[in-house]
Structure 1
Amino acid sequence: MITLEKTISFCETYPLERLGKREELLFFDIETTGFSGEYSTLYLIGCVYYREGNWNLIQWFADTLDSEGEVLKTFFEFLKKFTKVIHFNGDGFDIPYLLKRCRAHCLAYDFSSVESLDIYKKIRPYRNLLGLSSMKQKAIEEFLQVERKDLYSGGQLIEVYKDYLICRDRYLFDLLILHNEDDLKGMPLILPILSYPDFLEQDFSLDKQEILYQTDLFDRPQPLLKLTCKTGISIPIGFSKSNSMVLLEAEENVLTAVIDLFDGELKYFYPDYKNYYYLIYEDHAIHKSVAEYVDREARIKATAKTCYTRKNGCYLPQFSSLWTPSFQRELKDKISYIPYEAQLFENQENVRLYTRHLLNILCR
């Protein structure tokens, strides 16, 4: 086994205090000869850590196939100095792979003593909201508008490692070491993506609400509700996401939601329709205790579809059952509405519920 260690420049592009004390954080990345922990081997583990005011890089390289076990032992003993590991898709690949290789060598190591922060898993729920083209590290770098040239992929370096084991060429060794080093040095480039879960998982406070109007295809004014909310976390790059009824835009520490209001008549459907009659000529339902006084020819037993009362107003949409009582256009419509009043969002809990509601819908 070959051990390499040096001090490096590790630009702090994200407030690391949100993750913990610097001395307790360990960034790591592994290089293997395949995806399967049963049928391939580990040949390199690289780590970045903070000590005495400096960021350091340490790498353990299996210069022979027999030294894989030594690499594993050395890494896991080193791991005992830290409380949190940080990685990209390590929960999905690196950690399970290392545990399988430990079992292959009858080593009783695990990650139970450390907390795992997987950047991939942390941002995955927000892929659609942020418009990420994929969940590959390259797509995240493109979203953050950063450039990093990676001359070789991990897959291409498998053959390089095999050739190194045969010829021990220094050039091949440097390729393997530098690829892993570049991956670890590139970690700060994607750390700012963690600002998005930080931003989106905070409670937003309402800064301003206003009613706007836009004209429809028939030149009729249609009301829109604009909610401007703020939080204590800022994001590096703004984003926007919309569906047919809602536009969300985020910039720095501000989240703006523009929502189509419905101005007109909607129906409230009574849930216990068997206790109601539908009035044919008046187009609404009344309870059977009152319907006894209505001409039999003017009423029929209500069904789920006809058991409603109608009401005009200005309504706020909700995409699942957030508040009741709610109104609908028709019984089976997935979108329901509640009467909109400005006082609704004077309550901070309602602001929290509705912004979370909109974010959940647009994350899908």
Structure 2
Amino acid sequence: MHIEEKNYQDPFYHSNIFNFYFKNLKIGILDIETTGLNPDRNRVILGGLVTKEDDGIRSLQIFSESREEEATLLEAYLNEIKKLDVLVSYNGDHFDLPFLSKRFHFHGLCKEFHKSPLHCFSMHKSLDLYRTVDRYSNIRKSLPNLKQKTLETYLGLWSDRSDEISGADSVEMYYDYLKTKDESLREKILLHNKDDILQLTRLMKILDKLDLHEIMFHTGFPVFLEDKRLLIESISLKKDVLYIIGRHKNIPMEYRCYNSAYAAELSHRNQQLFIKIPCRAALDCLYIDLEDFRIDSAQLEKYPGYQSGYLLVKETDALNYLEVNHFLRLLLEEILKEL
């Protein structure tokens, strides 16, 4: 197994909105190289990771130098992933994470795989930039496709690349490397992967062009208090009721709260979170009375959706994503304080 690690002075992406959701969390940018697209038949040959450090960023690449080293590679890679809270990828929800999960399971590294194909990452917030751009922007209409390199060109980042090979080329080179042990082939594969992960750090500025509050409403976000962890997986408004579904970790007890304002359940057995919040209706609006909740609503007073102790959830057909997300974070933090 070959490991390459390097530190860079490049700043990691940040913005006020991004920090609202991810400040103080451990973030990693992930990309893998495989021998094909089917995890039942193909293997992981290289795991790449970029992490945010105090003085810049750090790249880590773990390369399998033989067919027998995949398990060793995956164990080392998984140990690095376990240190993280947020995984940023490009099409990772559909490829990298499911592929890794199956290979982890194959080698006995993910004991809980049977519960869900992505259970190995059950407490990681996944931020898939491909999925985000595809579902929550109109950028696709301006581009011939949404390949990573196409989006890099759109943002003026193409000149930052050094490699000139494709993923398919790297597979052919890998099989040649296994036969010849030619280090120049290994270096080309590593360069291709390193450019992908370093470019993803720069590609994160695409978030400046998107409504991150809307994205977090639909895809969920983490809420941590010390070692207690909640991960919202989905938020939905059905008629006049908000439903929140998620998972939790390091909460060694059952929690149930039923009152007129909301119902909340945290199951210790399956680590699931469920909250139901009825909203009140007036004219074309849905709102909640903040006095019904034990939260510090002063943090919400700066928003347009705050009106004299009430929080407007929906006005006509427009959801107030920021207001709802911030309210939910405050509510969940209060629940964690009780546990």
Q: Give the CA deviation at 1:53.
A: 2.4
- Cα distance, 1:157 vs. partner? 0.8
Is 1:142–2:144 an aligned residue pair?
Answer: no
Aligned equivalents of 1:192, 1:5: Cα separation in 2: 24
Match for residue 87 of structure 2?
85
SS of 1:60's equivalent?
A: strand
In structure 1, distance between residues paired with 2:29 and 2:139: 27
Specify the alignment match of 1:297 in structure 2: none
The structure with the greater share of residues assigned to helix is 2
Aligned partner of 2:10 in structure 1 is 10
In structure 2, distance between residues paired with 1:188 and 1:58: 14
Match of 1:119 in 2: 129
RMSD, matched Cα: 3.0
The 1:174–1:168 alpha-carbon spacing in structure 2 relative to 1, beyond 3 Å, is same
Deviations 1:308-353 (A, max 9, x none): xxxxxxxxxxxxxxx8xxxxxxxxxxxxxxxxxxxxxxx9x89964
Question: What's the counterpart of residue 100 of structure 1?
Answer: 102
For the pair shown, which has the larger CA radius of gyration, 1 or 2? 1
TM-score by length of 1: 0.53
Return the offset for 1:2: 1.4
> 1:30 offset after TM fit, Å?
0.3
Displacement of 1:124 in angstroms is 1.2
TM-score by length of 2: 0.56
Partner amino acid for 1:135?
A: L
Question: What secondary structure sits across from 2:186 in the alignment?
Answer: helix
Structure-1 separation of matches of 2:81 and 2:194: 18
SS at match of 2:94: helix
Q: Distance in 1 between matches of 2:136 and 2:85?
A: 27
Contact 2:11 2:57 in 1 (8 A): no
Letter in 2 for 1:42: V
Whether 1:66 aligns to 2:101 is no
* Cα deviation digits, residues 254-278 of structure 1 (max 9, x gap): xxxxxxxxxxxxxxxxxxxxxxxxx
Instruction: Go from structure 1 to structure 2 and tell me whether the alpha carbon gap of 1:135 and 1:171 turns closer, same or farther (over 3 Å shift).
Output: same
- 2: CA distance between counterparts of 1:186 and 1:151? 14
Equivalent residues in 2 for 1:211-290, closer than 5 Å: none
User: Which of 149, 152, 158 is residue 171 of structure 2 equivalent to?
Assistant: 158
Change (3 A) 1:24 1:74: same
8 Å CA contact 1:25–1:86 kept in 2: the answer is: yes
The 3 A distance-change label for structure 1 pair 182 and 46 is same
SS for the counterpart of 1:49 is: strand
CA distance in 2, matches of 1:140, 1:170: 31
Code of the aligned partner of 1:76: L
Q: Which of 49, 55, 58 is 1:56 aligned to? A: 58
Secondary structure of the corresponding residue to residue 30 of structure 1: strand
Distance 1:72 1:103 in 2: 10
Q: Which residue of 1 aligns with 2:23?
A: 21
